[in-house]
Chains A and B, each alone.
Chain A
Amino acid sequence: MSDTNLRSATISVLVENESGVLARVIGLFSGRGYNIDNLTVAPVERDGSKSRITVVTQGTQMVIEQIKAQLDRLVPVYKVLDLSEGPHLARELALIKVIGTGEKRAEALRLADAFRARVIDATTESFTFELTGATDKLDAFLDLMRPIGLAEVSRTGVAAIARGVKTIS
C-alpha cells in the first residue's frame, strides 16, 4: 500500500446546510495539506436543509482514503461518496468571452458550433459562449479559443453524480 501513484478523485459530500460548513470542509483540506482541484456547493433539498459539496482532489490511494475518512468525521456531514470508485457523470459549465473581429470572430463561432457551445451574448466585437461538459472538453475548447481572442472565463467547477440507480443518501 506504500503506493506513490497519484490519482484524481471526485468526492461528493452531503452536508447539513449550516453556517460555516463550507469553511470546515475547505479548512480541512488546507489544514491537512490536501489539494482542491475544484469545488462546487449548493443546497439540494427542497427545504434548503442539506447541501451537496463536490470536490475534485488528487492524492495517493492512501491519502484519498484519508481525505474521505476526515470528511466523514465532521459533525455536519451526512455522507461521503467517492464517485471515482465507480461509473459516474461529471459536468462543468463555463461562460467564455471571446473578443475579436473578422476571420477570428467567424472561426470562434465555427468552433463553438462544433463543441455545441451556445452563444448567450454577442456584440460586433465579442461573443460570450455557454459551454457544458466534462472538464477536459472545456479545457480543449479554451485551448482553441486562446489564439483567437479568449478574453475571460468563468467556470462553475464540477457537479457529479453516480450512474444508474446508485444514490448518495
Chain B
Amino acid sequence: MDGTIASPELMNSGAEALLRALKAQGVDVIFGYPGGAVLPIYDAIFQQNEIKHILVRHEQAAVHAAEGYARSTGKVGCVLVTSGPGATNAVTGLVDALMDSVPLVCLCGQVPTHLIGNDAFQEADTTGITRPATKHNYLVKKSEDLVRVVHEAFLVARSGRPGPVLIDLPKDILIAPASYREPSQTQHRSYRPRTEPDARRIDEAVALLKRAERPVIYAGGGVVNAGPEASRLLTEFTRLTGFPITNTLMGLGAYPASDPLFIGMLGMHGTYEANLVMHGCDVMLNIGARFDDRVTGRLNAFSPNSKKIHADIDPSNINKTVPVDVPIVGDALATLKALIAAWKKDATPVNKNALAQWWGQIDVWRSKNSLGFHQPRDRGSIIKPQYAIQQLYKATRGRETYITTEVGQHQMWAAQHFKFEKPNHWMTSGGLGTMGYGLPAAMGVQVAHPDALVVDIAGEASILMNIQEMGTLAQFRLPVKVFILNNQYMGMVRQWQELLHGGRYSSSYSEALPDFVKLAESFHAVGLRAETVDDLDRVIAEMIAVDKPVIADICVDQAENVFPMIPSGAAHNQMLLGPGNQDGSGPAVTNEGMALV
C-alpha cells in the first residue's frame, strides 16, 4: 500500500470482493461452517487456493479456534458462519474474545436484504444480538459498502484494545457484483484509539517507582497483546528496576517464569508471595491488566497502602473498580519504551536498602512453598493433578509447546505448575471462563503452528462441551493432544461446594462418563489412559511421540482442591493454604462473599 487510492474495480460478486479484501488483510485461514446464507462465500472459497478453510463441527468452536490462532500468532483470526443458528452459536465465542481482548473478524450470513425483519428461515437479528458481544459490528446493506466495511472491521479488531468484530452479510449482497478497493491509509472518521502515553504521566510514574520501598510490577494480557517486543521490554524494564513482578492469568508468559524476579501468578489462586506482595506494596505498577475481581479479592481491602500506577490502552479500564494515582493511557509497548527511557534519564538511585529488605520479606513468603503438594510414589498410588501437570511440563521442556486449557481446577493447576517463558504460548479463557474453549483453541493454534506441540489441558467435564471437534482434528490431521485431568467431578464446583456449601455436592458429579480411550478411537485418534502414578510418564511420552491427535485420560485424585485460594469476599492477606500448610481455618466467608461468583 503506497497511500494512493486506486480506482475501484468491479468484481463479479460480493463474495469474490469479500475474499479479495480478506487476502489484502493477510487472512490465510478461515474457521467456519457452511449454511444457506453463506453458500456464495463457500463457492468463492472453492474456486481459490490462497485462503484455507477449516471446517469445524460447531460454530462456537470456529470462534475459539480463531481465538487460538489469533493469540498464538498476534494476527486477526477469521470466522465464517451462516445466518440464524450459525450466528447465535457463535455468540459465546464472541463474548469470550471480547472479554479477553482477542482480535477477530466474524463473517456472518444473513437473509437477503428484502427479507430482513420478516422472520425468514434462519433469520436472527444478528447485529442486535451481538452488539454487546463484540467490539463493533456491521450490517452491510449496500454492495458499495462491502469492501470498505471489511477493511474497517480488521482495523477495528486489531487496533486499540483488540476485540471481535462481526460483519452481517445479507445473501443478495454476496451475489450482486461489488466494487473492490485496497485498504485506504486515511484515518477512521470517529475511531482513533490512543496508543502513545502522556510523557508527564510517565515521569510521574518513574518518580514514584524510584522512591518506592516495597514496589511491585503487576503485568497482564495487555503486554501479550502488544506483541513479543512488549514482553521483551517488560523483562528489560523489570530487570532494570530489580522489582518483583507478578503476572495475571492472561499475562502468563509476558515475563519468563524461571526468572528470580518472578513471584508467580496473583489472584484467587495465585501464589502466597504474589498476593502478599500486592497487599503490602507501597507502589504498584499495573501494566496491561484491569484489576479484575479474580485478582483484587475484596475491593476495599485491596492493596490498601499503595500508590497505584495503571497503564492501559483502554481508558475505561482506568478507575473502573480501583482508583489509581497515576493513570497512563497507551499501548503497552509504547508505554514500556517510555518507562525505560524515563527510568534511565532519571538519575535518582533506587532505595537499595529498602528493596533488599522487601526481597528478604518476599523470600520468607516464598519459603512457604504455597504451590507445594505431596505425590505418594508407592506402586498403584493415585495421581495428584498438580503432579500430572508438572510431569507434562518436564516432558515438554525444550520443545516448542503451546498450552490451551478448558475452565476449572485443571486450568488453575496448569497456570500454577506449567512455567511459561515466552508470550503467546498460553491460551486460556480468562474473562468469560468458557468451558469448552480449550480443544477448539488448540485446534486453531495447531493450524497456525503445524509443527509445534499443542496440548489442551482439560477436565473431563469441560472437554465434553466441544468434544465434537475431535472430528475436525481427524479431518485436517491436526495432532492436538488432549490431556484430561479426570476426577469425575466438575472440580471447581465441587471445591466451592466443599468449602462454601457444607459439602453438599449438588449436581457436580458426572455419572456415566464416556470411555475416553474408545471415544478417541472412534474419532480416529489415539486414546491413552493413566490410572496410577506408575503409568503417568509413559502415557505422557507416548502422547507426545504419536503424530496424531491423542486423548490422554489421566485419572487423578478426586478430592484434590486448588490452593492457595482467596475465598469470595476476602482480601489478599486472607488466603486459604493447602493441607499441611495452614495457619488456621482461614477467614469465614460472609453472606456478602457468598453472593460473589
Q: Which residues of A contact B141 (CB under 8 A)?
A: 19
The verdict on A130 contacting chain B, using a C-beta distance below 8 Å, is no
Q: Is the CB of B139 within 8 A of A19?
A: yes
Q: Which residues of B contact A164 (CB under 8 A)?
A: none
Inter-chain CB contacts under 8 Å: number: 52
When A23-B128, A31-B132, A75-B136 are in contact, do A69 and B318 touch as well, CB less than 8 Å? yes
Interface hits, B260-289 → A, CB 8 Å? none
Interface residues on B, range: 20 to 34
Closest A residue to B155 by CB, please name it: A75
Q: Is the CB of B316 within 8 A of A70?
A: yes
When A75-B135, A75-B156, A77-B190 are in contact, do A62 and B323 touch as well, CB less than 8 Å? yes
Interface hits, B137-154 → A, CB 8 Å? 137, 139, 141
Closest B residue to A20 by CB, please name it: B127
The verdict on B379 contacting chain A, using a C-beta distance below 8 Å, is no
Interface hits, A127-167 → B, CB 8 Å? none
Closest B residue to A78 by CB, please name it: B190
Interface hits, B392-440 → A, CB 8 Å? none
Distance, CA A37 to CA B73, complexed state (A): 45
When A16-B189, A75-B156, A76-B190 are in contact, do A24 and B131 touch as well, CB less than 8 Å? yes
The verdict on A27 contacting chain B, using a C-beta distance below 8 Å, is yes
Q: Which residues of A contact B156 (CB under 8 A)?
A: 75
When A76-B190, A78-B190 are in contact, do A66 and B127 touch as well, CB less than 8 Å? no
Distance, CA A147 to CA B160, complexed state (A): 56
Q: Is the CB of A2 within 8 A of B323?
A: yes
Closest B residue to A30 by CB, please name it: B132
Interface hits, B161-192 → A, CB 8 Å? 161, 188-191
Q: Which residues of B contact A74 (CB under 8 A)?
A: 136
The verdict on A114 contacting chain B, using a C-beta distance below 8 Å, is no
The verdict on A110 contacting chain B, using a C-beta distance below 8 Å, is no
When A23-B131, A31-B132 are in contact, do A66 and B190 touch as well, CB less than 8 Å? no
The verdict on A88 contacting chain B, using a C-beta distance below 8 Å, is no
Q: Is the CB of A69 within 8 A of B316?
A: yes
Q: Is the CB of B190 within 8 A of A15?
A: yes
Q: Is the CB of B131 within 8 A of A27?
A: yes
The verdict on B320 contacting chain A, using a C-beta distance below 8 Å, is yes
Distance, CA A65 to CA B127, complexed state (A): 28
Shortest CB-to-CB span from B311 to chain A, Å, is 15
Q: Which residues of A contact B137 (CB under 8 A)?
A: 20
When A20-B131, A31-B132, A62-B323 are in contact, do A75 and B318 touch as well, CB less than 8 Å? no
Distance, CA A98 to CA B430, complexed state (A): 58
Distance, CA A28 to CA B318, complexed state (A): 17
Q: Is the CB of A66 within 8 A of B132?
A: no
Q: Is the CB of A27 within 8 A of B319?
A: no
When A23-B128, A24-B131, A77-B190 are in contact, do A69 and B136 touch as well, CB less than 8 Å? no
The verdict on B315 contacting chain A, using a C-beta distance below 8 Å, is yes
Distance, CA A31 to CA B315, complexed state (A): 18
Residues of B within 8 A of A (CB): 127-128, 131-132, 135-137, 139, 141, 156, 160-161, 188-191, 193, 300, 314-316, 318-320, 323
Q: Which 6 A-B pairs have the closest CB atoms?
A: A69-B316, A1-B323, A75-B136, A78-B190, A75-B191, A69-B315
